[in-house]
Amino acid sequence: MTEDELIGEIRAIAAVAAPQKLLVGIGDDAAVWQPSRSHRSVITTDALVEGVHFTSAAMPAADVGHRALASNLSDIAAMGARPVLATIALSIAPGTDPAWILDCYRGMTALAVASRCAIAGGDIVRAPATSLAITVIGEVRPSNCKLRSGMLPGDTIAVTGPLGASRAGLAVAVERPELASLPEAADALRAFRTPQPRLAEGAWFGASRNVRAMMDSSDGPSTDLARLANASGVGAVIDAVPVAPAARAIAAACGADAERWALDGGEDFELIVAVATRAFTHLATRFRAHFGRELLRIGYATEEAGVRFASGEPVARAGYDHLAGTR
């Protein structure tokens, strides 16, 4: 059973526990509910586990905290929302130094302050392995909330930045520490350890009627674009893969395929948007003027289901599947 199949079965079970106030449940970047008529609240939960998502050896405690919160804030950004508050369930392995825990909170707090997000509480429990499960609540105007399900055939698909740098940082931090002397290593490590959630970009896209669907790329476009297309009941063609310069350089030094890192590496936390094609050039121009970066076109939506390259070859879903280790 794959992760997405399991989530489908869970969704079927949990469907009966979905009262009227819940507008979007399991299956998008975040759930959406309506606390009152004029408000939409969004909620998302992400867990990071030592040895799976991070190793203390490869990452200072403050960066572990930053990264865990960043991955949740990225889901909030992907809804077009702004964060309000976060809660943290911290599981600590026996023998964990309290100084590690406090540094982890310092990293979370710095990002929370920069993101205008409160840290509201949580739970601390002992466990065989250290992990953080973070929940973030955000708010969005009803008209600005972007789902995965709005992409139409013909829409232009774009990302908010080049991809693969986080995967390159993993290579430098864990697999090939000797590459740390390369000039591009610092960019790669920064992308891996302290990714920046695209909150301003997400809110900006939320305000545009020409942005029809949005999600964040946490597992890489090879997996995430399939999710976006499936949720919208369409397909997609990838005809350009924007590779981060750091990913290009580190992959070359590793003898790895930089385009595959960009497609499958994940954790870049760029936003993927589906934009009405007639409006794309104008939106991209405004994006460049506003953010000083390019909005990078990667392909377009099709009527035919599935995700393919322009050559017609299917894009294999090679992103990390958490269920791969289960029966």
- Nearer to a second copy among residue 48 and residue 273 (C-beta): 48
Residue choice 66, 81, 127, 190 for contact with a second copy (CB under 8 A): 127
Least distance from a second copy to the Cβ atom of residue 326, Å: 5
> In 3-149, at which residue ranges do the beta strands (DSSP E only) sit?
22-24, 31-33, 40-49, 82-92, 118-126, 131-140
Residues in the chain: 327
Three-state DSSP class for 220? coil
Residue choice 54, 105, 204, 269 for contact with a second copy (CB under 8 A): 105
Name the segment binding a second copy (CB under 8 A); options: 12-20, 255-263, 288-296, 297-305.
12-20
- Nearer to a second copy among residue 41 and residue 144 (C-beta): 41
Q: Judged by CB under 8 A, does residue 9 bind a second copy?
A: yes
- Nearer to a second copy among residue 128 and residue 312 (C-beta): 128
Residue choice 57, 60, 96, 299 for contact with a second copy (CB under 8 A): 96
- Which of the residues 128 through 187 are near a second copy (CB under 8 A)? 128-129, 131, 133, 135, 137, 139
Q: Judged by CB under 8 A, does residue 231 bind a second copy?
A: no
Residue choice 183, 255, 292, 325 for contact with a second copy (CB under 8 A): 325
Q: Judged by CB under 8 A, does residue 8 bind a second copy?
A: no
- Where residue 80 falls (left for φ over 0; alpha for ψ -120 to 50; beta otherwise) is left
- Which of the residues 304 through 323 are near a second copy (CB under 8 A)? 322-323
Pair 284, 294: CB distance under 8 Å: yes
Per DSSP bridges, beta strands 131-140 and 40-49 are antiparallel
- Which of the residues 49 through 88 are near a second copy (CB under 8 A)? 49, 51-53, 84-85, 87-88
Least distance from a second copy to the Cβ atom of residue 195, Å: 17
Residue choice 56, 60, 120, 291 for contact with a second copy (CB under 8 A): 120
How is residue 72 annotated by DSSP? H
Pair 202, 176: CB distance under 8 Å: no
Q: Judged by CB under 8 A, does residue 26 bind a second copy?
A: yes
Give the span between the Cα atoms of 155 and 153, in whole angstroms.
6
Residue choice 59, 61, 117, 172 for contact with a second copy (CB under 8 A): 117
Least distance from a second copy to the Cβ atom of residue 176, Å: 24
Q: Judged by CB under 8 A, does residue 101 bind a second copy?
A: yes
Pair 310, 239: CB distance under 8 Å: yes
Residue 230: Cβ within 10 Å count: 18
Residue choice 56, 60, 109, 153 for contact with a second copy (CB under 8 A): 109
Geometric angle at alpha carbon 221, from 218 and 227, rounded to 5° = 80
Name the segment binding a second copy (CB under 8 A); options: 105-113, 147-155, 238-246, 286-294.
105-113
Least distance from a second copy to the Cβ atom of residue 75, Å: 9
Q: Tell the residue number behind the tokens 């290579």, with chain if given.
A: 171
Least distance from a second copy to the Cβ atom of residue 137, Å: 7
Amino acid of residue 286? R
Give the span between the Cα atoms of 65 and 84, in whole angstroms.
18
Burial (Cβ within 10 Å: 0-12, 13-18, ≥19) of residue 45: middle
Name the segment binding a second copy (CB under 8 A); options: 37-45, 147-155, 249-257, 279-287.
37-45
Pair 284, 158: CB distance under 8 Å: yes
Residue 130: Cβ within 10 Å count: 23
Residue 292: Cβ within 10 Å count: 7
Q: Total residues contacting a second copy (rule CB under 8 A)?
A: 81
Q: Judged by CB under 8 A, does residue 41 bind a second copy?
A: yes
